Amino acid sequence: MTDVVLASLLRPVAGLKLPDRWLDLTVPRVMGILNVTPDSFSDGGALAAAASRRFKISLDKALAAAESIVLAGADLIDVGGESTRPGAPPISVDEELERVIPVISAIRNYFDVPISVDTSSPAVITAAATAGASMINDVRALQIPGALEAVAATNLAVCLMHMQGQPQSMQDDPYYQDVVAEVCEFLFSRKVCSERAGINGDRICLDPGFGFGKTLSHNYQILARLHEMHALGSPLLVGISRKSMIGSVTGGAPADRLAGSLAAALLAAIAGAQIIRVHDVRHTVDALKVFLVARNAGQAGA
């Protein structure tokens, strides 16, 4: 009996409500990353470098990048204008609006893919909703004053992520007694705050925030115990792609971390993570196809 209760507590949530559709999460979904930052560590800021010369070029390039993400099989596309890598400088709201809103509108015009927007700013949240976004991906878990209300005033889904500290200093000396318990406590309290503010539970997903105020050991403890986080009762989103927790183990620059990233994506999928945020969409989609066929074969034989 205890096993049955435990199994139902840890059963992954089956879907997420987006404004215009129900995102079925009984199979793992892939979120493709589209950075529109000059200082993005993984693409060298190529898109925004073009933006500083002539905006139209940037928009064309952003659309081309979005197209390749969609053709590679992404289920969601995550547009981000603020770099949150360790030590990154903050940017102004105006600059963030200028970077992301035209890209959201353009993607919305050309593709049917749900758009997630990597932002913490209430003004960007509101503008992103108007421009046709489906989800807010907030590494600060809607803690900036006005952010909860801004999401609640829309019908957008939201991803609440855990971070210890702030991007500028989060890797200085991260400390936890029990990293999984503390991450879960934080996410649960942010979920409760969001629901109290009027955001329905079926619109919320949660993310442990790999690399955000965590040592290598913390990151791998979370990955190893990821399945426990289903007890939070929300879909789990994870971003491990090309991060230093991969590079520290395999060596290599971010662009050379594909195999390690795929191993981590697969481990997350086996643990029941429902949305995997990645740079290498095609390869991750392929890896997850193999995972799914094996999972279905196991279920058919059971």
**Interacting residues with ligand 7PJ (CB under 6 A):** 33, 84-85, 118, 137, 139, 159, 161, 207, 209-210, 237, 239, 243, 277
Catalytic residue among 61, 191, 203, 277: 277
Shortest distance in whole angstroms from residue 241 CB to ligand 7PJ: 6
The residue among 90 and 294 lying less far from ligand 7PJ, judged by its C-beta, is 90
Shortest distance in whole angstroms from residue 80 CB to ligand 7PJ: 7
Catalytic residue among 29, 190, 242, 243: 243
The residue among 61 and 140 lying less far from ligand 7PJ, judged by its C-beta, is 140
Quickly tell me which residue has 């115990």 as its tokens.
225
Is position 56 annotated as part of the catalytic site?
Answer: no
- The distance between the two most distant Cα atoms of the chain, rounded to a whole number of Å, is 65
Name every residue whose Cβ is closer than 8 Å to that of residue 220 and which is 6 or more positions away in sequence. 245
Quickly tell me which residue has 């995550």 as its tokens.
78
Is position 108 annotated as part of the catalytic site?
Answer: no
Name every residue whose Cβ is closer than 8 Å to that of residue 89 and which is 6 or more positions away in sequence. 39, 168
Cα 119 from Cα 197, distance rounded (Å) = 18
Cα 216 from Cα 250, distance rounded (Å) = 13
The residue among 81 and 102 lying less far from ligand 7PJ, judged by its C-beta, is 81
Helical segments of 132-178, H only: 147-152
User: Which residues are 239's β-sheet partners?
Assistant: 277
Shortest distance in whole angstroms from residue 297 CB to ligand 7PJ: 31
Shortest distance in whole angstroms from residue 101 CB to ligand 7PJ: 19
Write 94-98 long-range contacts (CB < 8 A, 24+): 96/121, 96/124, 97/123, 97/124, 97/127
Name the residue with the smallest CB distance to ligand 7PJ: 239
**Residues assigned a catalytic role:** 243, 277
